[in-house]
Amino acid sequence: MATTADIKNGMCLDIDGQYFFITEFLHVKPGKGAAFVRTKLKNVVTGRTLDRTFNAGVKIEEVRIERRPYQYLYKDDMGYNFMNVETYEQIFINGECINGVEFMKEGDILDVVSHAESETVLYADMPTHVILEVTYTEPGLRGDTATNTLKPATVETGATVRVPLFIEVGEKIKVDTRDGSYAERVR
């Protein structure tokens, strides 16, 4: 058990049977009254954020989590199959638990976050940026660069990304997996 004095960003808490990550916190010591800690929590499963205030010195239940690299192998009817790159153990992960799943291709290495005691997978994170090949896009008009106009492009994983007009089929682009935006062209 930890107390509110141990709170830090990235800490995982068990609140009413649900897991939350602390994204922001602020120790407040008003001139009158008891001190308290104001936190912003993100639900591990749903991704929703909520504000919660704890009185100073209150015991909180910290959850010990571990991050391990896993390689994506393939998808079947049970889910997405991953292999631990250190122990070669294979696991299944549901698609809703993977952040950026639409940009994932076979062989990608993901960070899988799991509960340390029960070994249950909480979620999996794609790398922040991935390099993908454009498989289909409408041809852009030469010289039409006066505005920052974007066009839809389909990448090799089947996802659609908005790209600048000069991007053609067969080119490789860097995509931000957090929001699915175009970052840059890769040569």
How far apart CA 105 and CA 98 sit, in angstroms, is: 13
- Rounded to two decimals, the pTM is 0.75
CATH 2.40.50.140 in the chain is located at: 65-125, 129-186
Backbone angles phi, psi at 90, to 5 degrees: -105, 140
Task: For the domain made up of 129-186, give the CATH fold.
Answer: OB fold (Dihydrolipoamide Acetyltransferase, E2P) (2.40.50)
In degrees and rounded to multiples of 5, residue 186 shows phi and psi of: -110, 130
Kindly report the backbone phi and psi dihedral angles of residue 95, in degrees, each rounded to the nearest multiple of 5, phi listed first.
-60, -30
Domain spanning 65-125 has what CATH number?
Answer: 2.40.50.140
Instruction: Summarize pLDDT for 131-158 with one digit per residue, the tens.
Output: 999 999 988 766 666 677 888 999 999 9
71-114 pLDDT, tens digit each: 999 998 888 999 998 899 999 988 888 888 899 999 999 999 88
177: pLDDT strictly greater than 80: yes
